[in-house]
Structure 1
Amino acid sequence: MSQLPQQPAGISVPTSADVARLAGVSRATVSYVLNNNATVRISEPTRRRVREAAAGLGYVPHAAARSLRAGHTRTVLLPAAQAPAVPLYQRFLTRLESDLRRLDYTVVQYGSIGLEPDEAARAWAELRPVAVVSPGATALTPYGIGVLTRSGAKAVITLGPQPVDGAHAFVMDQREVGGCAVRHLLSRGRRRIGVVVPREPDLALFAEPRLAGAVRAAEDSAAPALIQPLPLRYDEESAEDLAARWRTLGLDAVFTYDDEYAMLLMRALQDTGVEVPAETAVIGADDLMLGRLLRPRLSSVTIELATAQPPAEIIDRLVRSPGGAPERHYLLRAAAVARDSS
């Protein structure tokens, strides 16, 4: 059996008993304060005295011992290594992690690339997280959700375009982004609209719903409209090839998935003599500052997170009150920003 490493001679590890003596309280009070136990009423001066004593001694609670007592950790697992490189997605994860830390959760990012969904769930369960926020790239199954719940997870939450049965969900419905872009182009009189579909596999989770939203918006239009998917790699050669064929496609507008693909394709179109917006209107998504500096200035879909309650607070509530019916929280609000390119 492996053993913990020996402490260097002359160095003692501070204990909760040391904190209790210095603060003049019981060890139970130290535990209540440092574990943020809200079920016991402790005055704010006492809480402050305990925290100051712990800080002065350099004492921190033993996470493993606390986990054994509680049956779970204060860990929220974010398998963020699989997260797509989408600005809004990354901003959401950064804000979520910061807010969870303020609520005294330990946030752990865990990679499970190469694992099947049920294997990933078992790997996550080994860490005994109190909650898991799983990206849509990992297709959780009822079995995986059960494994996590039985291991002590109070809340299993998916993050992606579609909810998963049996789990709570933060839904980033990307269909509205594509629909918003196409409705804007239709309002400008454009009827033959290309939709860029990135060839990069890690973007499929967002690209396919955006295309579906674009198709739905065209179908719902009072005037006939055509949607043409346009596969495109994020490199100049692919953009130049598409631009060279552009006039044979008969399109008068394009939704480019996001602003970066818009910049790539718009430059290639201009280099081949296609006038923007006279021949082809262009709209991207994410409303990046760089797009506003282009000429013509890039129209875009601005995307905001919109929930009645901050996601970290929702997770905290689900952890404190587990066992309820799965909740669905829709996070996205999209709006077209019209500029010169459309």
Structure 2
Amino acid sequence: MNAVNSAAGRAPTSADVARLAGVSRSTVSLVVNDVPNSRIAQPTRDRVLAAVQELGYAPDVSARQLRAGTSRLVLMPLPRLPRGTMIDTTVEHLSEKLSGQGLTLLVHGDRKTTGTTAARMWAELRPAVVLVDVDRCTKPSVALLRRAGTEVLMIAARPTPWGDTLEFDQGRIGAAAAAHLLAVGHRRLAAIVPTGPLEGIGRARADGLANAARAAGVPCEDIAMEATHESAAAAASVVRRPGGPTAVFTYNDEYGALLHRALGDQGATMPDDVALVGADNLPIATFLRPALSSVALDPVEMADHMCTAVRSMLERPARSESVVNGVLATPLLVRRETS
């Protein structure tokens, strides 16, 4: 073991790196933090980096945060909804884009805590920004975080008067499905509303479909469905009844796949007997035959909007009023064979 790191169990420090590289601790800090315009000669930089590699040195992030009063962390508490391809892809792109801005995305595993209890837990990590669903926040909790030097960017169905918001109205997804189905001639619509934990978001999407149908003078009904083959068969029977809907918005592509199979088992052809439109544009939509039309949300667009909002929050004057409002994503209908 190298002499500068001989103490049993002791993590290497910047002083160890400095001794091994033959430089000052301030030089180590400038190199490790890649400080712009630091004018460190390349041979010196190479020696420091070689010492970092040899010793396995990692900067003490908590100490850096204490000195700065905050961090370069963007904290994202996990949403209450189950994670899926859309969320995972968005998080991946967001992490990459924030990294390009010198920020680090930290996904927080707690899904349930809300209000000031959640705010205190998040504030302990000293993030620069918390990016979170509005239902996890209250006006006092946002104020608590801002007093701690942390900005809060909420995802909400509509702008929130007491905090920075990116608008993400699930109803717009149902409305996009309705616009397409009405445009191709359907005059009896239905929406699948999932039971269980997804019912809230399913209801919001179904309401978007219903509102668009109502505006067009077209009847629209809800069909409750569990994510099982048995429930999908029952939903298919409701769709296939005399006078039933000629087109169904299936909440998402996974529920769409279940209903697609159940309708096929009952002898229905798509889109001749009934049209289907899913949502989220998951890979499964293209595996089906006929392939499932779907309302898509672009994860790259969502990551771009989040990153832009975070940057604008960090660049505005301290203690200034909330100013960020914008739309997180624009739904786009991807037409395939079922509609």
State the TM bucket, normalised to the shorter chain: 0.7 to 0.9
More off after superposition, 251-260 vs 208-217: 208-217
Which whole-Å CA distance do the structure 1 matches of 2:328 and 2:255 have between them? 24
Does 1:146 find its partner at 2:139? no
CA drift of 1:77 comes to: 1.6
Please point out which of 331, 334, 337 is paired with 2:334. Answer: 337
Structure 1 partner of 2:165? 169
**SS where residue 177 of structure 2 aligns?**
helix
**SS where residue 330 of structure 2 aligns?**
strand
Residues 220-249 of structure 1 deviation map (CA, whole Å, 9 limit, x = unaligned) = 43xx21221222111112111222233156
Structure 2 partner of 1:130? 128
Structure 2 partner of 1:190? 186
Please point out which of 204, 208, 217 is paired with 2:203. Answer: 208
Structure 1 partner of 2:275? 281
Which whole-Å CA distance do the structure 2 matches of 1:76 and 1:180 have between them? 32
Structure 2 partner of 1:67? 65
Q: Where do 1:177-326 residues align within 5 Å?
A: 177-202=173-198, 204=200, 206-221=201-216, 224-246=217-239, 247-248=241-242, 250-305=244-299, 306=301, 309=304, 311-312=306-307, 314-321=309-316, 322-324=318-320, 325-326=322-323
Distance 1:275 1:313, change over 3 A: closer
**SS where residue 75 of structure 2 aligns?**
strand
User: Normalising by the residue count of structure 1, what TM-score does the alignment of the two structures yield?
Assistant: 0.83
CA drift of 1:144 comes to: 0.5
Distance 1:294 1:318, change over 3 A: same
Distance 1:176 1:310, change over 3 A: closer
Please point out which of 7, 13, 16 is paired with 1:15. Answer: 13
Which whole-Å CA distance do the structure 2 matches of 1:49 and 1:165 have between them? 53
Amino acid at match of 2:155: L
**SS where residue 14 of structure 1 aligns?**
coil
Please point out which of 92, 95, 106 is paired with 2:93. Answer: 95
8 A contact 2:293–2:337 mirrored in 1: yes
Which whole-Å CA distance do the structure 1 matches of 2:221 and 2:313 have between them? 43
Distance 1:11 1:284, change over 3 A: closer
CA drift of 1:259 comes to: 1.3
Paired residues in the alignment total 330
Which whole-Å CA distance do the structure 2 matches of 1:272 and 1:159 have between them? 41
Distance 1:211 1:296, change over 3 A: same
Structure 2 partner of 1:3? none
Which whole-Å CA distance do the structure 2 matches of 1:295 and 1:103 have between them? 43
CA drift of 1:76 comes to: 2.4
Structure 2 partner of 1:4? none
User: Normalising by the residue count of structure 2, what TM-score does the alignment of the two structures yield?
Assistant: 0.84
Residues 5-50 of structure 1 deviation map (CA, whole Å, 9 limit, x = unaligned) = xx98456543323434555554334324433545x64457365654
Which whole-Å CA distance do the structure 2 matches of 1:240 and 1:160 have between them? 34
Unaligned runs of 5+ in 2: none
Please point out which of 152, 159, 179 is paired with 2:155. Answer: 159
Unaligned runs of 5+ in 1: 1-6
8 A contact 1:88–1:286 mirrored in 2: yes
8 A contact 1:85–1:203 mirrored in 2: no
Q: Where do 1:74-93 residues align within 5 Å?
A: 74-80=72-78, 82-93=80-91
Amino acid at match of 1:318: M
CA drift of 1:314 comes to: 4.2
RMSD over aligned Cα atoms: 2.9
